[in-house]
Amino acid sequence: MYSRIALVLLVAAAVAGCGAISRATGTMGDVPEDSGWLELTVNVRGAGVFVDDALRGMIRYAGRPQLIVIPAGTHELRVEKFGWQTYTARIAVEPGAINTLIIDMERLPTEVVELPE
């Protein structure tokens, strides 16, 4: 009984995460002919990844390659997280290929504000 429930939850989690960024596992799976893989390595866990202003996922593992399927062509990429400098770039994704990008985001400076007593 419990193994069936675990299997159902595992399948549901896999289906729910289809569009999310996942770890590189060495197997690429099926990619539509007009799409390619963008392999991102970002130093900030929890950063949002936007392609053409649409949220495509969150960085789950800082400093480790993560994959996202993107239609082939030129796109606007934005990676952002509060307290960090937003990264933006125009990227070209080749169909059927792994397109690698390493992003080193910088922490924004903080300022101490003294409150009146």
In the chain, the domains with their CATH numbers are 20-103 (2.60.40.10)
Q: Which residues does residue 107 pair with via DSSP β-bridges, in sequence order?
A: 84
What is the C-alpha to C-alpha distance for residues 49 and 41, in angstroms, rounded to an integer?
11
Mean pLDDT confidence for 85-94: 95
pLDDT category of residue 117 using cuts at 50, 70 and 90: confident
pTM: 0.69
* Residue closest to 47 by CA, chosen among 101, 87, 14: 87
Given a cut of 90, whether residue 19 has pLDDT beyond it is no
By CB atoms closer than 10 A (0-12, 13-18, 19+), residue 40 is buried
